[in-house]
Chain A
């Protein structure tokens, strides 16, 4: 009689390509062309600047809420770069990077955050809840981990359609505790669904460190429990993420199976603008990860060493991004809010008469009591 120990002797090793100085450790990675590498770097910087500025905009009281992705730029961009436009993305809420990669503009980001009339979400959701069919990126919902079984269902549909595509879903270390995670992995294995489960293990679920979240060796070991092949990757290494996601995609599609990737990283920012993480973790820990382990700087060193980037390009990029972003924000902030009709549309495919009556009642009320309503309620 022998009980299996609760953990194995050694932790699962972590796949890494670049060291902290941006030097390749070995030749065990997918080569990335200059075009792709520079585009990846540009997007990582865009994400970084976008987060920094929008965070400030929230602190200034101009938008109600924001959540940054600082520290996780490599996961966001490199994973998107390894996929095709046909692969369907089911995000949690800390993954605007794939949207940027696929062509969602800073203006569209700003429109959503300011919920103006050009928001393609029609002002229905809080900031950072982006979604775009055009970019094959399913609308962010605040519910934690619900997107994981959704991705499995979509992967099953993709398989039935016999498409050369997969679905990918992102979630955090905290999200892996939800029942949905377990049901989804279990099911995906049974259904043989072509889905990539990408866990951003960034060490924190708001104030809950991973030591209070689970007692297993991270999230990667849970894959085998469900019959899902898995890998642990250095989440701050863009090339490692790129290689792992590309390999996972091939396995998922060609072998019709799910794959779990645990990307180890650190949530440098607060959970959101409603959080002050210095209250539950040491400031010097945050600063160390922000500076010494910055995935953007690390990748920059690699592309510079290849002769694909330099200081001048850097300052040009950062300046032009800042300008573009500030302009987008200014435009977005001054646009009108969505019309009243958008309260009542899209509840059903065809609005029922009861909703049309309510809409008319609201419009009449606003018209008859104009002094009771602000000017930006337009019928």
Chain B
């Protein structure tokens, strides 16, 4: 799906890049991730990959395709089936100074390894008083796919983002995938990198400098995918695409929605979100995961704490149904947010279902 991406401004943070306004080429998210891994492994011999099926099988979702042939079995390790084991081993390698990228076939399986992610990775720099740093990346598909049932569909963004010591990233486009994965691999802190299976095959335009091997995006900065002035819609991962579609529909009805692609759940870019809400006065948070104690709840609190006076309507939270994911296609469709849910929520914040003239 083609989309012209307009960069809002230059973010000097970690790495320098210039904004281009026209797309030169297209790339799938899968290729974006693969090329990012390839380039980082080439640049730094300490980077290595571990996971089930990442080597000979070319990756369960082909994200690591070709890397075993290129870098050899010492740097692309096919592991036995033990998430707890290989997460712990990855952490140990990181303690000693390597930079592992550990793949979970889906983040549902990361629950087996969660003790190592939290207690061995996230907390070690702090508990060792700065003696042990853990430059590890845990990556893999997160959230719902299609027809994979309850034990393969949960989104873990809120769980991991609750923990100090971790960084949690949620790429949407190919540009996000490349820039954020490179940033994650280069980061000295442990990073949880939540991809989405259904986005792997999606094509996005990528500019020449996104394709450059030095490209990387700053961690902790959200991106305004589409500017607007009537309502702010925050989303991450696949829901960014849904939010953009909702914005198109809303535009036809005279509602100008500003869509924020969070990119980073921890640290959360509270200043971009609040600046947007102060402009639009209305907020809809969108996530595919369970509603309770979720990312939307955190965003709502941030806005209430910092921008209460600017809200003209209660915050609307769009999330998945509070049930384990059902399998049947019709039931699954009703258990996750759809574009029309986002449209209706935006209209509710505008207190009307007829076109609204933009207010100053």
B326: interface (CB < 8 Å): no
Known contacts A141-B119, A156-B93, A131 near B132 by CB under 8 Å: yes
* Contact in complex: A149, B80 (CB < 8 Å): no
Distance in angstroms between the alpha carbons of A120 and B131 in the assembled complex: 9
CB-contact partner of A157 in B87, B98, B164, B189, under 8 A: B98
Q: What chain A residues lie within 8 Å of B348 (beta carbons)?
A: none
B77: interface (CB < 8 Å): yes
Distance in angstroms between the alpha carbons of A268 and B270 in the assembled complex: 55
A348: interface (CB < 8 Å): yes
Distance in angstroms between the alpha carbons of A182 and B127 in the assembled complex: 26
CB-contact partner of B127 in A139, A150, A160, A190, under 8 A: A139
Distance in angstroms between the alpha carbons of A157 and B135 in the assembled complex: 14
Known contacts A90-B92, A160-B98, A121 near B129 by CB under 8 Å: yes
- Rounded to whole Å, the gap between the CB of B198 and the closest CB of chain A is 31
Interface residues of B in 92-141 (CB under 8 A from A): 92-98, 100, 115-116, 119-120, 124-133
A216: interface (CB < 8 Å): no
Distance in angstroms between the alpha carbons of A311 and B100 in the assembled complex: 54
Known contacts A139-B131, A180-B88, A183-B84, A154 near B77 by CB under 8 Å: no
A133: interface (CB < 8 Å): yes
- Rounded to whole Å, the gap between the CB of B242 and the closest CB of chain A is 28
B321: interface (CB < 8 Å): no
Known contacts A124-B126, A349-B133, A184 near B115 by CB under 8 Å: no
CB-contact partner of B84 in A129, A152, A157, A179, under 8 A: A179
The count of residues in chain A whose C-beta lies closer than 8 Å to any C-beta of chain B is 47
Known contacts A146-B115, A346-B125, A153 near B164 by CB under 8 Å: no
Q: What chain B residues lie within 8 Å of A272 (beta carbons)?
A: none
* Contact in complex: A346, B129 (CB < 8 Å): yes
| Closest A residue by C-beta to B90 | A153
* Contact in complex: A157, B96 (CB < 8 Å): yes
Distance in angstroms between the alpha carbons of A115 and B133 in the assembled complex: 21
| Contacts between chains A and B (CB distance < 8 A), count | 148
* Contact in complex: A349, B188 (CB < 8 Å): yes
* Contact in complex: A186, B82 (CB < 8 Å): yes
Distance in angstroms between the alpha carbons of A182 and B93 in the assembled complex: 18
Distance in angstroms between the alpha carbons of A345 and B127 in the assembled complex: 11
Distance in angstroms between the alpha carbons of A15 and B168 in the assembled complex: 50
CB-contact partner of B124 in A133, A139, A354, under 8 A: A139
A213: interface (CB < 8 Å): no
Q: What chain A residues lie within 8 Å of B89 (beta carbons)?
A: 149-150, 152-153, 156, 183-184, 187, 191
Distance in angstroms between the alpha carbons of A132 and B132 in the assembled complex: 9
A261: interface (CB < 8 Å): no
Distance in angstroms between the alpha carbons of A147 and B82 in the assembled complex: 16
Distance in angstroms between the alpha carbons of A90 and B93 in the assembled complex: 12
Interface residues of B in 126-164 (CB under 8 A from A): 126-133, 164
Distance in angstroms between the alpha carbons of A124 and B88 in the assembled complex: 22
Q: What chain A residues lie within 8 Å of B80 (beta carbons)?
A: 183, 186-187, 190
A170: interface (CB < 8 Å): no
Distance in angstroms between the alpha carbons of A138 and B95 in the assembled complex: 9
| Closest A residue by C-beta to B91 | A150
Known contacts A132-B131, A138-B95, A160-B74, A347 near B126 by CB under 8 Å: yes
| Closest A residue by C-beta to B127 | A124
Interface residues of A in 175-214 (CB under 8 A from B): 179-180, 182-184, 186-187, 190-191
Known contacts A121-B128, A180-B84, A153 near B165 by CB under 8 Å: no
- Rounded to whole Å, the gap between the CB of B333 and the closest CB of chain A is 37
| Closest A residue by C-beta to B219 | A352
Which interface class (under 10, 10 to 19, 20 to 34, 35 or more) fits B? 35 or more
* Contact in complex: A347, B132 (CB < 8 Å): no
* Contact in complex: A187, B129 (CB < 8 Å): no
A143: interface (CB < 8 Å): yes
Q: What chain A residues lie within 8 Å of B267 (beta carbons)?
A: 352, 354
A158: interface (CB < 8 Å): yes
- Rounded to whole Å, the gap between the CB of A111 and the closest CB of chain B is 12
* Contact in complex: A139, B132 (CB < 8 Å): yes
| Closest B residue by C-beta to A195 | B92
* Contact in complex: B132, A138 (CB < 8 Å): yes
CB-contact partner of B96 in A119, A131, A154, A342, under 8 A: A154
Distance in angstroms between the alpha carbons of A223 and B220 in the assembled complex: 46
Known contacts A138-B132, A156-B89, A143 near B119 by CB under 8 Å: yes
- Rounded to whole Å, the gap between the CB of B9 and the closest CB of chain A is 18
| Closest B residue by C-beta to A348 | B189
Interface residues of A in 250-293 (CB under 8 A from B): none
B85: interface (CB < 8 Å): yes
Interface residues of A in 133-151 (CB under 8 A from B): 133, 138-139, 141, 143, 146, 148-151
* Contact in complex: B131, A154 (CB < 8 Å): no
| Closest A residue by C-beta to B271 | A353
A88: interface (CB < 8 Å): yes
Q: What chain A residues lie within 8 Å of B215 (beta carbons)?
A: none
B22: interface (CB < 8 Å): no
A-B pairs, top 6 by smallest CB distance, nearest first, are: A183-B85, A153-B92, A149-B88, A150-B92, A153-B93, A122-B129
Interface residues of B (CB under 8 A from A): 74, 77, 79-80, 82, 84-98, 100, 115-116, 119-120, 124-133, 164-165, 167, 187-189, 220, 267, 270
Can you list 6 A-B contacts with CB-CB less than 8 angstroms, sorted by A residue number? A122-B129, A149-B91, A153-B90, A183-B80, A183-B89, A348-B189
* Known A179-B82, A180-B84, A191-B77; further 8 A-B contacts with Cβ < 8 A: A138-B132, A141-B120, A143-B119, A149-B87, A149-B88, A156-B92, A160-B74, A354-B270
Interface residues of A (CB under 8 A from B): 88, 90, 119-122, 124-125, 129, 131-133, 138-139, 141, 143, 146, 148-158, 160, 167, 179-180, 182-184, 186-187, 190-191, 342, 345-349, 352, 354
